[in-house]
Amino acid sequence: MNIIESLKIHLSNFGENYPNLMNEYKTNGMHTPDLNFNTWKGQAEMIQALEIKSKDSSILELGCQMGIIPHFFKEHGFTDVDSTNSKIEAGTGLDELENSWRAMNLQVDSLHILPKEEFVLRKKYDYIIATSTNILWNSNRLLQIHKNNLYYDYYILDKNDVAHTYFVPYDEEELKFFVTNIKKYLTPGGKAILHGLPFPYFMPQFKKELEYLEDNTTIITCDNFPDTSLTSDLKQKTLFTYFIIEGDK
Ligand SMILES: C[S@@+](CC[C@H](N)C(=O)[O-])C[C@H]1O[C@@H](n2cnc3c(N)ncnc32)[C@H](O)[C@@H]1O
């Protein structure tokens, strides 16, 4: 099954095949899907790495946003596809997402994962996909002090209206908890892809976390970086590195 080629064709024919969806997006202020394959090349490569065996395999996208990936699977004959999204993270953009899911005929479960808090999924899956995600951020204890006032705020806009985002990556204990939790929802030999955007663990202060992931998961950096304008190796690795968790056999 060549996911990369299929997704490429799916996206290039999207406008022609799904005019009702394109119509839906016209009125969106916040969410309009970028249907350029270059934007999805990393995801396609990561999903390809799962080597999905059958169209009847059970698949969950953990954090599907507009639903492009689960919609792609369903339209390509996959029979067992679920998805979740965080209502909290969607904030005021939730209505647009819900309209998109409705138009795609997707039932998306609401799920917001918190550090070291047990989360529950519908069932065990053969494949769990979490790409471009910020699930593994623990920003609960991140504070900002500005003009002697304290705020819980994780991004600011600079004078050019460019956002600067701050986050605290999961530490070793939080990663352990998450990995143990997600394994409960993987079939024996099932696989979960976690592509944090960014992958922070190459930074020197996260040595313990990197060691934990090296010992307990498979860390992979994509072969073909979608954006060739990226210059430094660390920048590329930070954006296109993910890890795979395997279900216990
Ligand atoms: C940028 S979107 C990625 C959408 C899609 N997976 C992709 O590859 O383009 C990030 C997703 O992560 C989910 N998410 C973020 N924080 C989360 C959390 N704490 N728990 C569960 N989902 C979360 C959001 O709901 C959203 O669907």
Distance 148 CA to ligand 1 centre (A): 33
Domain-wise residue ranges, the chain: 3-137+170-246
Print pLDDT tens along the chain (249 aa).
Answer: 799 999 999 999 999 999 988 888 887 776 788 899 988 988 999 999 999 989 999 999 999 999 999 999 999 999 999 999 998 888 888 999 999 999 999 999 999 999 999 999 999 999 999 999 999 999 888 998 989 999 888 888 999 999 899 999 999 999 999 999 999 999 999 999 999 989 999 999 999 999 999 999 999 998 766 665 666 777 778 888 999 999 998
Nearest C-alpha to atom 17 of ligand 1 is from which residue?
135
The SS3 assignment for 188 reads strand
Distance 113 CA to ligand 1 centre (A): 10
Nearest C-alpha to atom 13 of ligand 1 is from which residue?
63
CATH of region 3-137+170-246: 3.40.50.150
What pLDDT, on the 0 to 100 scale, is given for residue 188?
Answer: 97
* Atom of ligand 1 lying closest to residue 87 CA: 25
Tokens of 118: 């047990």
What pLDDT, on the 0 to 100 scale, is given for residue 230?
Answer: 67
Alpha helix (H) residue ranges in the chain: 3-12, 14-17, 19-26, 37-49, 68-75, 87-90, 94-104, 172-183, 207-216, 233-240
Pocket test of ligand 1: the residue of 34, 39, 59, 89 to mutate, having most ligand atoms within 8 Å of its CB, is: 89
Q: Give residues (CB < 6 A) around ligand 1.
A: 43, 63-65, 85-86, 89-90, 111-113, 131-135
* Atom of ligand 1 lying closest to residue 114 CA: 19
The model carries a pTM of 0.94
What pLDDT, on the 0 to 100 scale, is given for residue 190?
Answer: 98
What pLDDT, on the 0 to 100 scale, is given for residue 55?
Answer: 96
